């Protein structure tokens, strides 16, 4: 199995990486914490202009028709940048779920997929495994699960209650709504398969972002330990400190092929896709958690403080 990315995928990645580095800075993230919605419409518009909201939308609905491996490196960069906007969830979970609906839902797909591709509409999603809905307050439509069935409910027909998160960038809501035959779009075995695939894609999306978060924590920690000095030398030059970050780097390298294999399995609907995704979620989460733990340790007490950028990424690990 060849996990090498082609030239087009790498060029797309480089372009998005450069954009996120310039636009999604720690200062931008902190600024969004002070706003009522916690989200930036201008930034979302820029993401749409880059074509990112259209990546997995089928071409006949105005999208680019790409798949999970095409977006994987970009999802990593969204984790690296701690992007607050729900781009990864939209591209890797929401759009494939809608696109997988049957022909009887063609009108529904025709109505929503072009709007998502252009960035004009946002859709949030909820499953009973986690009843809180991220970014429901800025969504135009909610995809909700009730007794295994799939419902599509406009946001103006639900009541939202915000739940505070330890991460100020996470906007979580409980949703009070009523399931009706009119807003039900899938039931039975069809809905069961749709939700199973959506959960796999959700776990893959988290795994990709965790990989990026782990890389960012290493970069922040290395920069800090080479600026801070003890006994006239950077603390990062001491072997004991190097080992902390080297152990994280090893975890990240070993997680790479597991993550890429999981993306391939999902994109090609392989029978063992769920197992591959679970493996990827496990190893990338371990890498991110170790990065957060060791990052805090090499920062000393500073790692926990509000002023240090490390805490932004630590809370997402």
In a domain, 264, yes or no: yes
List per-residue pLDDT tens for the chain, 317 residues long: 677 889 999 999 999 999 999 999 999 999 999 999 999 999 999 999 999 999 999 999 999 999 999 999 999 999 999 999 999 999 999 999 999 999 999 999 999 999 999 999 999 999 998 889 999 999 999 999 999 999 999 999 999 999 999 999 999 999 999 999 999 999 999 999 999 999 999 999 999 999 999 999 999 999 998 888 778 888 777 788 889 999 999 999 999 999 999 999 999 999 999 999 999 999 999 999 999 999 999 998 787 788 899 999 999 99
Residue with token string 């294999």 = 261
In a domain, 109, yes or no: no
In a domain, 108, yes or no: no
User: Between helices 188-227 and 68-81, what is the axis angle to 10°?
Assistant: 40
In a domain, 208, yes or no: yes
Q: What is the pTM of this model?
A: 0.94
Beta-carbon contacts of 56 under 8 Å, excluding residues fewer than 6 positions away, are 63, 64, 65, 66, 67, 68, 71, 91, 92, 95, 96, 99
In a domain, 37, yes or no: no
Looking at residue 228, its pLDDT comes to 81
Q: Rounded to an integer, what distance in angstroms lies between the CA atom of residue 113 and that of residue 60? A: 10
Tokens linked to 229: 């000095």
In a domain, 36, yes or no: no
| Domain residue limits at 200 | 191-315
Q: How far is CA 142 from CA 56, 131, 178, in A?
A: 19, 13, 12
In a domain, 305, yes or no: yes
Looking at residue 219, its pLDDT comes to 96
Q: Rounded to an integer, what distance in angstroms lies between the CA atom of residue 311 and that of residue 305? A: 7
Looking at residue 179, its pLDDT comes to 94
In a domain, 215, yes or no: yes
- Which DSSP letter does residue 65 get? -
142 close to 175: Cβ distance less than 8 angstroms: yes
Looking at residue 234, its pLDDT comes to 81
Decide the pairing of beta strands 123-125 and 229-230: unpaired
Number of domains in the chain: 1
Alpha carbon 305 to chain centroid distance?
Answer: 25
Q: CATH code at 240?
A: 1.20.140.10
Q: Rounded to an integer, what distance in angstroms lies between the CA atom of residue 285 and that of residue 213? A: 10
203 close to 93: Cβ distance less than 8 angstroms: no
């Amino acid at each position: 199995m060849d996990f090498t990315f082609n030239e087009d995928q790498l060029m797309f990645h480089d372009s998005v990486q450069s954009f996120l580095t310039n636009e999604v800075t720690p200062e931008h993230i902190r600024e969004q914490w002070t706003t009522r919605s916690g989200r930036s419409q201008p930034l979302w518009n820029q993401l749409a202009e880059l074509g990112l909201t259209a990546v997995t939308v089928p071409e006949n609905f105005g999208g680019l028709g790409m798949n999970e491996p095409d977006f994987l490196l970009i999802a990593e960069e969204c984790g690296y940048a701690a992007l607050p906007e729900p781009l990864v969830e939209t591209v890797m979970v929401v759009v494939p779920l809608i696109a997988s609906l049957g022909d009887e839902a063609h009108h529904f797909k025709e109505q929503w997929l072009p709007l998502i591709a252009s960035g004009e509409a946002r859709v949030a999603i909820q499953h009973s495994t986690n009843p809180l809905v991220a970014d429901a307050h800025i969504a135009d439509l909610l995809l909700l699960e009730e007794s295994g069935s799939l419902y599509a409910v406009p946001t103006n027909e639900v009541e939202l209650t915000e739940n505070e998160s330890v991460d100020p960038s996470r906007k979580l809501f409980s949703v009070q709504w009523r399931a009706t035959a009119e807003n039900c779009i899938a039931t039975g075995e069809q809905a069961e398969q749709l939700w199973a695939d959506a959960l796999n894609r959700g776990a893959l999306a988290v795994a990709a972002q965790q990989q990026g978060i782990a890389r960012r924590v290493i970069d922040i920690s290395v920069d800090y330990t080479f600026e801070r000095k003890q006994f006239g030398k950077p603390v990062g030059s001491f072997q004991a400190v190097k080992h902390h970050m080297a152990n994280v780097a090893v975890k990240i390298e070993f997680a790479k092929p597991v993550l890429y294999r999981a993306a391939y399995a999902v994109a090609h609907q392989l029978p063992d896709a769920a197992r591959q995704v679970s493996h990827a979620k496990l190893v990338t989460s371990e890498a991110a958690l170790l990065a957060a733990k060791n990052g805090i340790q090499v920062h000393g007490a500073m790692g926990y403080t509000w002023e240090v950028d490390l805490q932004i990424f630590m809370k997402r690990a």
